[in-house]
A = this chain, B = another copy of it.
Amino acid sequence: MGDKMFMGASTKQGHDIANKSREIVISLIKDDSKALSKEEQDIVERIVHSTADSEYAKLVSISSNFVDNNLKALKNNKTLLTDINMVKYGITQYDGVVECYIKNPDVIEIAKNQKITRAAAAIQFAAKNDFKGIIVVGNAPTALYEAIKLYENNEIDLAFIVGVPVGFVGAADSKEALKNSKIPNIIIKGPKGGTPVAVACVNSLIQTMKSK
């Protein structure tokens, strides 16, 4: 991991804080992440750093083909499609395109006509408009279900999914569905997750890719 870039810190003071935080996080997650690869440990470390919640080390689940698939996809600057704009604006170091269609007028129209969420409509819209890339869901379980459905029908070209929607209704089930699919994935078991978790995961992967 490039020392200067750690956790996005760009000044001496920011860098010192990040390093000290890193030590604390590593001591907190050590036991739970023993079985993980270095790249996977980096992801967990960054998630716990971003949430100050070490329970995430127990809740994360990463499919065996996840890291290899993502390093290839990110190296090829595949498009990153996020469910909401907050997630998009957290991904600051990517050389490829980061896209979010939630406010697209066509998406709003699809949602209205089909009576589905705008987050689900945005995935449908992407699939119909030749999207090839990576899907990052930090919030909407409906977006995750839509992506899995389209993948199973061969209607979307996906490298992998970061599937970490947060919430007490639907989120846990949608993540289990992703885990049980053939899509390379990372999920957080149970209701927890959200924007910082999604962003931490993607930024860690980008950093790993750039350091190789």
Interface residues of A (CB under 8 A from B): 9-14, 17, 20-21, 24-25, 49-53, 85-86, 88-90, 92, 111-112, 115-119, 141-142, 166-171, 190-196, 199
User: Are A21 and B116 CB-contacts (below 8 A) given A53-B192, A142-B13?
Assistant: no
Instruction: State whether A52 and B195 are in contact (beta carbons under 8 Å apart), knowing that A13-B117, A117-B14 are contacts in the complex.
Output: no
Report the minimum CB–CB distance from A75 to chain B (whole Å): 25
Report Cα–Cα, A199/B50, bound state, in Å.
Answer: 15
Are A50 and B194 neighbours in the complex by a CB distance under 8 Å? yes
Of the residues B21, B51, B86, contact of A199 by C-beta under 8 Å: B86
B-chain residues with CB within 8 Å of residue A170 when the two chains form the complex: 17
When C-beta atoms are compared, the residue in chain B nearest to A190 turns out to be: B52
Main secondary structure of the interface of A (DSSP, over half): helix
Assembled-state Cα–Cα distance A52/B170 (Å)? 12
Q: What B residues does A25 contact at CB under 8 A?
A: 168
Q: How many copies does the complex hold?
A: 2
Cβ distance A203 to chain B, nearest Cβ, rounded Å: 11
With A49-B167, A52-B171, A52-B190 known, 15 other A-B pairs at CB within 8 A are: A11-B111, A11-B117, A11-B118, A12-B115, A13-B117, A17-B169, A20-B168, A51-B166, A52-B168, A52-B191, A86-B86, A86-B90, A86-B199, A89-B89, A166-B196
Query: B195 contacts A90, CB within 8 Å?
Result: yes
Residues of B contacting A194 in the complex (Cβ-Cβ under 8 angstroms): 50-52, 196
Q: Is the CB of B192 within 8 A of A195?
A: no
* A53 touching B52, Cβ below 8 Å: no
A17, A85, A190 pick with most chain B CB within 10 angstroms: A17
Q: Shortest distance in angstroms between A53's beta carbon and chain B's nearest beta carbon?
A: 6
Complex partner residue of A115 from B11, B50, B92, CB under 8 angstroms: B11
